[in-house]
């Protein structure tokens, strides 16, 4: 039986439910080939033509089934429904069917009741369907099919928006012993999870359905919709192509792909191709599914930016929905709207009237007629209709369209600006309420109606500022509203270039030029022919003083649309560029040409279309620019004349005040401050530019009269006369700018009372409290803000503040609470908040040394940030640069952390990953080079440095690093050459000088160092007083064993912040070993062992040790204090006290357990063992060091280790092994006196006296002839 085939039954139900009646019929027909004469399939076969409007054909089939068991009840109901559809007056037949229905219903079984309920469900008689289904469940409450249908009924009832009740039914089925095969229940669960916005759970179920049923199209179609809801366009399109491989006419797949090309790519040609294919598919398989035609027409027409290619197809789709006598008022209204979108106002009006003939109460059609009247400038007709419609809708509430049309009417009647803006605000609020609870879906796009929102934005911009705001100014309320409107449009439809262009324009007017530029570039990357985008880009370049780029953008715009020359805005921008470049005469000619364009003056005779193309604002801008150019040329009389012409031309318009304010600039140029202030004072609070006038007056008081009190009073008066959140913000910011944050906080708090949901205000208060160091109050404020419902962002602000206050436990608790929330990762803002949370939590764990946790949360933050970056490229192109920086920063944190944990390979990997997002980041390249250097990969380090120097040839750090590479490679000559080059560029670079001294030591050229020190003295008279100079002087003298002079020089450097620790460590080294002996060595110990000498030496050592202890107390604590700990323990070893040596040994072991190959700690252990006379143990530690790669930062300790190990080998008679170590010493340091002395001793022991003499002579020379034992 077909009934047992749950996949087939689910497929039939799915297509019937989603009104794919053609697929419904095809699926049933195919089922009958497998299950021949199956009564259930025959029932559905009879239903198919009824759903498609072929009523007689359907009734004929149902007549054959009305006496069949299980389907008799459903067949009788279908026949009654058919008679009513046909408006058949055969009362006897209907009465007979009613009688039969009552009779059959009394004795109906559960299956008969179920199929009757199913029929009623599919013809959308949900209440009746519920009656039959409840009776069926009374007979058998465990029937899986009935429970599933009950679940679907709950979902369609509208009383279970989150699918809680429906979920119980579907879930109950899946928990039954054989419920795992009930496909329809799983499809129901998908819908329930979608209703709850639990998209990942829905996706999981869809994938379960696909496994083993790869050709089950309903599951693939649902999966596409889930991926759309998740905004995972790439995966949605991939799934769509899989569906097309199974069925080339699949409507859902073609819809998703078309949406992708429109919403994400803005590729109208490709979208048009897929839309044509969609139309052909509908004509082939769903020609009677009029609702599908209607919905697709509605969907694509509202998101295409009125593109002609797309509108041709959507118009055809709309027409198909009303063909073949399908008289549906809503479908007819859609046809009218399609005409309206195409600019065919007359045809739109006719079709709206046809709609009203079909349904006299159809209010959207009346609204459409009013819109047509307004577009045709039939103001009085529209006014009467609106008045009538307003009265009708008083009881049921106004629609967004009605508010909007009232605003348009007010604008055309030149009503008060404030009234029009209020109506626009109402329209936006009402419109947003229609889709705020929807997730991304076809319905969302239709309800969003980007076309409508773009219209409203353009109307708002007519009332907003026309010039960019100054940096730091509060956001203008009009621009803020525009950003609010455009936010969902540009995020969900980054391919809708009209919306993206408007967003760029608004951001430009907000003064956010970088974001505006990035947004525009996204448009132009997709379509270079957008002339308006080029023009706006020119304006941005102009404000950034990039005149060449501004001219290029202007010419690009002209090349794509020659009509641009007919608009004054082109000439206005061109003139501004010329002015900025000092070409005032050319600018004057350009503006005069603009003044003569048709439509620039009221006396010009032009068509309405030409008038509409040039706004009053643009005209005024040309007048004002012309006057300013005359002023700059010293033609004050001409400037005054142009201003007077402007006043005469625009008297009575909202722009009149703008001209008045511009006159103030002329007065200020003449030095007439009193006139300027007087003019501004005359601007009344009812005038459009009152706020700008008061801002200008405040600026004069602050910058011309230097009077902070009058400056603040201006804003206070503004807030009193024009009370609003915006003016309160202006007053608060004014107090902040004159360093009165306490007053600012009071104002911000008052403003917040006016608008408690304004998070911008709340953030300003929090920041102001932190700025005034009221940390306790700031914490309390943030906690209150969180309790009021502004959760996530305030949680981060509070956590960050607590982090700064080092209250790590509280900060951690808040951050974990945010991350524990069940979030919807389809929301980009939430994803960004969570990524920030993770990064902050990782930084917190770093501070408290929880290294594994820090690594974990940095990794999580990076993974999430990459997902954000992938989406933001299409949804928020202006934020791409900042997101790249964020990922780069996180990767660098991971790299630094790995490096500290001695995981160099991971550090390299993270730095390389950072460079994939920001390949030109010099700092990252430098850090990567450092890791290569420390890990011994010198070739990679050299390559990285050379690449960096191609980008920045004078980068001192890179040249320094390259010199270090040569140093590591023992190419000391090359290293010295680079260090000298650096000193030539910056002779007082003491860090480089210290490196040069080190390199010269290694190359055996210490004799040449004094001339550098002397030349530095001569070049800089203050060099003798600088700590860096004294450090280098001390370093040189320590290397030539002039310990007393070295100590004096280091002592001069130790009080300096930069050189303090390095100087102190060197002083301690001298105290511990003034003669540079081999500590723990025994080869030369017998020399000078007289009692008097020993006594004197012991006393000196005691004093030196006390000095070393004092010096170490001065060392400034650092993040990594390992070196300090090693030095302290070396002092303990040097006391040679048994308890001290044991203690030091334990401490060294602890360091080695944390940092396995720490050379300093290993050497410390070796010296401790030597003091304890445990030579084998000392030798083992020294051998560990000998196996390590030589590292510049460990050079001195490694040299000491090799010398001590050589000493041990000599004592044991292992001269070959000792010589190998001594060669290593001399390879890395040709000035190593001790290595030459040991080599001479070995040669002497081996009777090679000539070689011994040569080594002793070198030891004598490099020891500065200070050691008489060698000299003898």
Picking from 748, 737, 645, 658, the residue whose alpha carbon sits closest to that of residue 696 is 658
Check residue 1083 and give its pLDDT.
63
**Mean per-residue pLDDT for 706-733?**
84
Per-residue confidence (pLDDT) for residue 180, from 0 to 100: 65
Mean pLDDT of 141-166: 89
- Output the pLDDT for position 304: 95
**pLDDT tens digits for range 312-355:** 999 999 999 987 656 789 999 999 999 999 999 999 999 999 99
Residue 968 has pLDDT above 80, yes or no: no
The mean-pLDDT minimum among 361-365, 414-418, 709-713, 827-831 falls in 827-831
What is the predicted pLDDT for the residue at 406? Answer: 94
Supply the mean pLDDT for the chain: 86
pLDDT higher than 50, residue 766: yes
Which CB contacts under 8 angstroms, 24+ apart, belong to 796-805?
A: 796/833, 796/836, 796/837, 796/840, 797/763, 797/766, 799/837, 799/840, 800/840, 801/770, 801/775, 803/840, 803/843, 803/844, 803/847, 805/775, 805/779
Can you list the alpha helix ranges (DSSP code H) found in 123-248?
126-139, 144-156, 164-175, 183-195, 199-210, 217-229, 233-246
What is the rounded (10 degree) CA torsion for 837, 838, 839, 844? 90
For 89, counting Cβ atoms within 10 Å of its Cβ (0-12 exposed, 13-18 middle, 19+ buried), the class is: exposed
pLDDT at 789 over 70: no
Is 1263 or 759 the better-scoring residue by pLDDT? 1263
What's the N-to-C CA distance of the chain in angstroms? 115
What is the tens place of the pLDDT at every residue in 1029-1057? 999 999 999 998 889 999 999 999 998 88
Q: 3-state SS of 570-637?
A: HHHHHHHHHHHCCCHHHHHHHHHHHHCCCCCCCCCCCCHHHHHHCCHHHHHHHHHHHHHHHHHCCCHH
Angle at 328 between CA 323 and CA 329, to 5 degrees: 125
pLDDT of residue 610: 45
Report the pLDDT value the prediction gives residue 1025, as an integer from 0 to 100: 62
Task: Calculate mean pLDDT across residues 633-656.
Answer: 84
- Largest Cα span, the chain: 142
Given a cut of 70, is residue 761 above it in pLDDT?
A: no
d(CA 917, CA 882) in angstroms, rounded, equals 11
pLDDT value at 708 more than 80 = yes
DSSP state, 1089? -
Dihedral of CA atoms 708, 709, 712, 718 in degrees, nearest 10, equals -140
Which of 182-191, 725-734, 1173-1182 is least confident?
725-734
Which residues 6+ apart lie within 8 Å of 288 measured at CB?
A: 21, 22, 52, 53, 54
Least confident of 156-170, 956-970, 1037-1051, 1185-1199: 956-970
Specify the residue for token string 């010329």: 578
- Residue 262 pLDDT class (50, 70, 90 cuts): very high
Q: Which residue has the higher pLDDT, 525 or 1131?
A: 1131
pLDDT in tens, 647-706: 888 877 767 777 887 888 777 877 888 888 888 888 777 776 778 888 888 888 888 888
HSE toward the beta carbon, residue 21, CA cutoff 13 A: 20
pLDDT tens per residue, range 10-59:
999 999 999 999 999 999 999 999 999 899 999 999 999 999 989 999 99
- Helix H segments across 738-827? 741-754, 759-771, 775-787, 791-804, 808-820
Mean pLDDT value across residues 419-424: 92
pLDDT of residue 1082: 63
Q: Give me the mean pLDDT over the 729-756 stretch.
A: 78
Note the pLDDT tens digit of each residue in 530-564.
888 888 998 888 888 888 888 888 888 888 878 77
Give me the pLDDT at residue 961, please.
83
- DSSP states of 476-513 as a string? PHHHHHHHHHHHHHHHH-TT-HHHHHHHHHHHHHTT-H
Confidence label for 60 from pLDDT (cuts 50, 70 and 90): very high
The answer, yes or no, to whether residue 1098 has pLDDT greater than 80, is no
pLDDT for position 609: 44
pLDDT tier at 971, thresholds 50, 70, 90: confident
Residue 808: per-residue pLDDT: 86
Which residue do the tokens 């932190």 mark? Answer: 770
**Which pLDDT does position 602 carry in this prediction?**
60
- CA Rg value for the chain: 42
Is residue 435 classed as helix, strand or coil in its secondary structure? Answer: coil
Q: Three-class SS of residue 689?
A: coil
* Token pair for 73: 């009840």
pLDDT of 481 above 80: yes
The 10 Å Cβ neighbour count of residue 385 is 19
Residue 1254: how many other CB atoms lie within 10 Å: 15
Q: Which residue has the tokens 């439809």?
A: 493
Q: Which residue has the tokens 């797949």?
A: 253
Q: Please, what are the domains in the chain?
A: 1196-1272 (1.25.40.10)
Task: Quote the CA–CA distance of 199 and 871 in Å, as a whole number.
Answer: 17
Query: What global pTM score does this model have?
Result: 0.70
Which one, of 188, 232, 202, lies nearest residue 13 by Cα?
A: 188
When mean pLDDT is compared across 98-107, 411-420, 488-497, the lowest value belongs to 411-420
């Amino acid at each position: 039986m077909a009934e047992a085939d749950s996949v087939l039954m689910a497929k039939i139900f799915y297509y019937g439910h989603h009104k794919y009646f053609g697929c419904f019929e095809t699926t049933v027909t195919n089922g009958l080939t497998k299950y021949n004469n199956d009564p259930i399939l025959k029932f559905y076969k009879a239903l198919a033509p009824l759903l498609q409007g072929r009523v007689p054909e359907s009734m004929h089939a149902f007549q054959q089934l009305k006496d069949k068991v299980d389907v008799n009840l459903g067949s009788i109901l279908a026949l009654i429904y058919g008679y009513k559809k046909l408006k058949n007056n055969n009362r006897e037949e209907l009465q007979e069917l009613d009688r039969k229905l009552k009779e059959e219903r009394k004795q109906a079984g559960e299956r008969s009741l179920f199929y009757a309920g199913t029929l009623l469900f599919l013809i959308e008689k949900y209440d009746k369907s519920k009656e039959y289904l409840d009776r069926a469940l009374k007979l058998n409450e465990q029937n899986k099919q009935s429970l599933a249908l009950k679940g679907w009924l709950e979902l369609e009832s509208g009383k279970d928006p989150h699918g809680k009740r429906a979920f119980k039914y579907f879930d109950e089925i899946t928990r039954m012993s054989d419920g795992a095969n009930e496909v329809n229940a799983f499809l129901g669960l998908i819908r329930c999870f979608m209703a709850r916005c639990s998209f990942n759970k829905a996706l999981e179920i869809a994938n379960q359905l696909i496994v083993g049923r790869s050709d089950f199209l309903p599951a693939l179609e649902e999966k596409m919709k889930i991926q759309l809801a998740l905004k995972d366009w790439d995966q949605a399109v991939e799934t769509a192509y899989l569906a097309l491989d199974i069925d080339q006419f699949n409507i859902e797949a073609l819809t998703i792909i078309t949406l992708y090309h429109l919403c994400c790519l803005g590729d109208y040609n490709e979208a048009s191709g897929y839309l044509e294919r969609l139309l052909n598919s509908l004509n082939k398989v769903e020609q009677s599914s009029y609702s599908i035609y209607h919905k697709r027409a509605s969907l694509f027409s509202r998101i295409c930016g009125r593109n002609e290619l797309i509108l041709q197809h959507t118009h055809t789709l709309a027409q198909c929905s009303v063909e073949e006598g399908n008289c549906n008022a809503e479908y007819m209204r859609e046809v009218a709207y399609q005409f309206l979108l195409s600019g065919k106002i007359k045809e739109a009006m006719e079709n709206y009237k046809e709609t009203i003939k079909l349904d006299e109460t159809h209010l959207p059609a009346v609204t459409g007629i009013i819109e047509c009247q307004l577009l045709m400038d039939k103001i009085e007709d529209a006014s009467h209709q609106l008045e009538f419609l307003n009265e009708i809708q008083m009881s049921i509430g106004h629609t967004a369209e009605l508010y909007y049309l009232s605003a348009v009417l007010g604008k055309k009647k030149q009503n008060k600006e404030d009234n029009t803006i209020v109506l626009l605000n109402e329209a936006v609020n009402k419109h947003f309420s229609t889709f705020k609870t929807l997730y991304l879906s076809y319905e969302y796009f239709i309800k969003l109606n980007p076309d409508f929102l773009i219209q409203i934005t353009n109307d708002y911009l007519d009332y907003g500022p026309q010039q960019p705001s100054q940096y730091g100014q509060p956001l203008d309320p009009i621009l803020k509203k525009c950003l609010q409107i455009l936010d969902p449009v540009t995020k969900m439809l980054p391919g809708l270039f009209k919306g993206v262009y408007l967003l760029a324009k608004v951001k430009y007017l907000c003064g956010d030029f970088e974001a505006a530029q990035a947004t525009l570039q996204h448009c132009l990357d997709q379509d270079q022919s957008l002339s308006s985008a080029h023009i706006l880009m020119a304006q941005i370049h102009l404000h950034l003083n990039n005149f060449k780029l501004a001219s290029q953008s202007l010419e690009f715009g002209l090349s794509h649309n020659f009509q641009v020359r007919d608009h004054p805005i082109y000439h206005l921008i061109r003139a501004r560029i010329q002015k900025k470049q000092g070409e005032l005469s050319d600018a004057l000619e350009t503006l005069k040409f603009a003044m003569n364009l048709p439509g620039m003056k009221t006396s010009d005779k032009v068509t309405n279309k030409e008038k509409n193309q040039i706004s009053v604002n643009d005209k005024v801008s040309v007048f004002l620019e012309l006057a300013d150019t005359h002023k700059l040329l010293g033609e004050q009389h001409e400037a005054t004349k142009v201003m007077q012409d402007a006043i005469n031309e625009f008297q009575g318009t909202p722009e009149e005040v703008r001209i008045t304010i511009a006159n103030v600039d002329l007065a200020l140029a003449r030095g007439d401050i009193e006139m300027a202030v007087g003019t501004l004072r005359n601007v009344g609070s009812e005038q459009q530019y009152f706020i700008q006038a008061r801002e200008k007056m405040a600026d004069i008081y602050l910058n011309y009269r230097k009077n902070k009190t009058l400056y603040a009073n201006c804003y206070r008066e503004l807030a009193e006369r024009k009370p609003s959140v915006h003016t309160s913000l202006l007053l608060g910011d004014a107090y902040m700018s004159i360093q009165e944050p306490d007053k600012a906080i009071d104002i911000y708090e008052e403003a917040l009372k006016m608008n408690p949901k304004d998070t911008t205000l709340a953030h300003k208060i929090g920041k102001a409290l932190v700025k005034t160091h009221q940390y306790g109050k700031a914490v309390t404020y943030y906690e209150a803000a969180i309790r009021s419902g502004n959760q996530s962002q305030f949680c981060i602000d509070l956590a960050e503040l607590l982090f700064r206050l080092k209250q790590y436990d509280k900060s951690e608790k808040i951050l974990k609470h945010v991350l524990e929330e069940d979030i919807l990762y389809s929301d980009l803002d939430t994803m960004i908040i969570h990524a920030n949370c993770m990064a902050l939590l990782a930084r917190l764990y770093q501070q408290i040394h929880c290294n594994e946790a820090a690594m974990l949360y940095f990794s999580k933050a990076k993974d999430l940030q990459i997902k954000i970056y992938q989406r933001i490229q299409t949804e928020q192109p202006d934020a791409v640069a900042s997101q790249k920086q964020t990922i780069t920063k996180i990767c660098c944190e991971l790299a630094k952390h790995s490096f500290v944990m001695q995981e160099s390979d991971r550090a390299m990997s993270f730095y390389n990953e950072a460079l994939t997002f920001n390949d030109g980041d010099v700092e990252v390249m430098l850090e990567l080079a450092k890791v290569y250097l420390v890990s011994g990969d010198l070739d990679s380090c050299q390559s990285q440095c050379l690449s960096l120097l191609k980008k920045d040839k004078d980068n001192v750090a890179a040249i320094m690093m390259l010199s270090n590479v040569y140093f590591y490679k023992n190419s000391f000559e090359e290293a010295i050459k680079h260090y000298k080059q650096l000193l030539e560029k910056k002779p007082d670079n003491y860090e480089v000088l210290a490196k040069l001294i080190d390199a010269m030591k290694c190359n055996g050229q210490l004799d040449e160092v004094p001339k550098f020190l002397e030349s530095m003295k001569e070049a800089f008279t203050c060099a003798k007083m600088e700590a860096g100079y004294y450090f280098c002087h001390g370093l040189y003298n320590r290397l030539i064993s002039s310990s007393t002079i070295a100590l004096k020089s280091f002592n001069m450097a130790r009080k300096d912040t930069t050189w303090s620790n390095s100087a102190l460590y060197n002083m301690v080294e001298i105290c511990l070993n003034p003669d540079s002996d081999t500590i723990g060595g025994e080869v030369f110990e017998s020399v000078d062992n007289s009692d008097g000498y020993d006594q004197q030496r012991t006393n000196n050592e005691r004093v030196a040790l006390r000095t070393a202890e004092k010096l170490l107390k001065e060392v400034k604590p650092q993040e990594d204090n390992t070196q300090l700990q090693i030095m302290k323990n070396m002092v303990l070893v040097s006391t040679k006290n048994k308890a001290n040596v044991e203690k030091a040994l334990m401490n060294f072991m602890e360091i080695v357990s944390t940092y396995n190959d720490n050379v300093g700690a290993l050497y410390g252990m070796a010296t401790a063992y030597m003091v304890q006379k445990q030579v084998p143990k000392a030798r083992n530690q020294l051998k560990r060091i000998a196996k390590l790669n030589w590292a510049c930062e460990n050079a001195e300790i490694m040299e000491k280790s090799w010398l001590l190990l050589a000493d041990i080998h000599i004592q044991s008679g292992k001269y070959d092994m000792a010589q190998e170590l001594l060669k290593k010493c001399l390879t890395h340091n040709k000035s190593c006196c001790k290595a030459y002395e040991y080599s001479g001793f070995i040669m002497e022991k081996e009777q090679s006296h000539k070689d011994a003499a040569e080594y002793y002579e070198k030891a004598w020379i490099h020891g500065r002839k200070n050691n008489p034992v060698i000299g003898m």
